Amino acid sequence: MTTRVPSVAGALVAHYPGASAVGETISGAVTEVLTGCDVVPVVLAGQGAVMFRMSQQGAGEIFHICDGYRFLDPMPESGDLCGCPSTLKERKAEALAGRGPVPMTQIRFRLGDLPDIGMFTLDSSSWALAESGPRFVRMLSMESGPVQCLLRYDMVEFTTQSGLDVSYRRPALELAGISFGVGGGFELAA
């Protein structure tokens, strides 16, 4: 987690066993707190807490921002059909070829264990999270008030065709035993 507020960094380090702060701790500088946690309880403030968009940018210029069906930006085209392929698989192929937008999922939350230290934001370009995002937003829309979830960082490991071992953490949200942001959309949590 990153913060510009020294007291927030201190609260995070004090709360998570084994956590450490990296970087500056003076006011205004960014401090990164390494919690060592794979799962963090979070509280989402309803449907607006998760936002999904597709974005194509380059050289400091925005070419295309949509919800997968209609333009959100640039403003003159806002609301018009964007022309993106209908399936996420086709969208991913276009993006990988440099001809289409990539996902941008933003999740705004408070920490379940430390709700008073402020709002945090997770920005992710995960295709798996983007695939399950609309279903998650629909589930949130059925809830009244804040929603308690688990924010997980699942380990993904694979070997490329050229023999290179790759590993990274992929974000996933879990709400009422259903996980979002995993490979095939959503699944029941173990």
> Are 12 and 19 a contacting pair, CB within 8 Å?
yes
Nearest to 180 by CA among 120, 107, 130: 130
pLDDT value of position 28: 60
Strand pairing category for 2-3 and 31-34: antiparallel
Q: Kindly report whether the global pTM for this prediction surpasses the value 0.75.
A: yes
In whole angstroms, give the CA distance from residue 1 to residue 145.
Answer: 25
Q: pLDDT tens, 82-131?
A: 889 988 899 999 999 988 899 998 999 999 999 999 999 999 888 888 88
CA 131/CA 137 separation, integer angstroms: 11
Give the pLDDT confidence score for residue 117 in this predicted structure.
94
> How far is C-alpha 79 from the chain's CA centre?
24
Alpha helices in the chain (DSSP H): 6-15, 88-96, 127-141
The per-residue pLDDT for 14 is: 92
Q: Which parts of the chain have pLDDT scores under 70?
A: 24-28, 176-190
